[in-house]
Amino acid sequence: MKQVIGQQGEVRIIKIDALPEGMQTKPAERVAKGFVISHSESGHHHCVTGGDVMERVDNVPAGMQKFYAILAKPEEFVQDAANPHGGYKLDPGIYEFRVSREFDPFSEQARRVAD
């Protein structure tokens, strides 16, 4: 089962029952506020405050990123800006974070959505 929790800027938050089988991952970057899910063009990060967070590196559409977080305790999804987007309180569980993309028909390229 998938449950869409919400969207913060270009990041969609989805609670899922289990991690995809056989996926390849790398650790997510960590900063003071937590694990970086998306870098804003203004230099502010969208972060998960804790848990076991990884980025999927296989079977991800061009211009998109997917992250997964396994939360053993409640955490938050926040932006580290002076005037941040509203945050989300996340219950323990498994979450997928999708960094949105858009398609430019003139360049025929998919690219990350700018927040």
Asked whether residue 112 is domain-assigned, the answer is: no
In the chain, the number of structural domains is 1
Beta bridge partners of 69: 53, 95
Asked whether residue 9 is domain-assigned, the answer is: yes
Range of the domain at 39: 2-73+82-94
Q: pLDDT tens across 42-77, in order? A: 677 899 999 999 999 999 887 789 999 999 999 999
Q: pLDDT tens across 6-50, in order? A: 988 788 999 999 999 999 999 999 988 899 998 866 677 899 999
**Are the C-beta atoms of 26 and 106 separated by less than 8 Å?**
no
Return phi, psi of residue 24, to 5°: -100, 135
**How far is the C-alpha of 35 from the C-alpha of 53, rounded, in Å?**
7
Asked whether residue 113 is domain-assigned, the answer is: no
Asked whether residue 110 is domain-assigned, the answer is: no
Asked whether residue 104 is domain-assigned, the answer is: no
**How far is the C-alpha of 68 from the C-alpha of 56, rounded, in Å?**
7
Q: Examine the pLDDT at 97 and tell me if it is beyond 50.
A: yes
